[in-house]
């Protein structure tokens, strides 16, 4: 199974180790059912649809796909969290916008 590696701008602790990279596995149907939709369309006052980001759902995907516990996800810097969001979006065919420090590479 192909994975995506992401170099973190700031190391985090997970499973008693310092991590400088995260390795993401692709979500399957069961993962999607557990984590929910990371984006949702919602209509604003003028009736125009706007895409809303569900950060709790993204956090669950990061935890599950990178195989790190929730508290480790919570300790990610903002830059690294949003780089992870870019990786997750890529699994759903959405454009990636990773930061330089978080540029994913396929392995």
Q: What is the pLDDT of residues 74-101, one digit of tens each?
A: 999 999 999 999 999 999 886 544 444 4
Q: Model pTM?
A: 0.83
> Quick one: angle between helices 55-66 and 78-91, nearest 10?
80
> Could you tell me which of 28, 29, 25 has the C-alpha nearest to residue 3?
25
> Which pLDDT score is estimated for 45?
82
CA distance 86 to 89: 5
| pLDDT higher than threshold 90 for residue 48 | no
pLDDT tens digits for range 23-39: 999 999 999 999 999 99
Question: Looking at beta carbons, which pairs linking 19-23 to residues 24 or more positions away fall under 8 Å?
Answer: 19/68, 19/72, 22/62, 22/66, 22/68, 22/84, 23/66, 23/67, 23/107
Domain boundaries, the chain: 3-106
pLDDT tens digits for range 7-22: 999 999 999 999 999 9
């Amino acid at each position: 199974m192909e994975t995506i590696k992401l170099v973190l701008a700031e190391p985090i602790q997970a499973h008693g180790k310092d991590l400088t990279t995260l390795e993401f596995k692709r979500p399957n149907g069961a993962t999607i059912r557990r984590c929910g939709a990371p984006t949702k369309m919602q209509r604003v006052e003028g009736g125009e649809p706007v895409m809303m980001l569900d950060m709790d759902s993204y956090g669950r995907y990061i935890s599950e796909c990178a195989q790190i516990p929730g508290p480790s996800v919570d300790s990610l810097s903002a830059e690294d969290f949003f780089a992870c969001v870019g990786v997750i979006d890529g699994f759903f065919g959405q454009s990636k916008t990773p930061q330089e420090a978080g540029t994913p590479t396929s392995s």
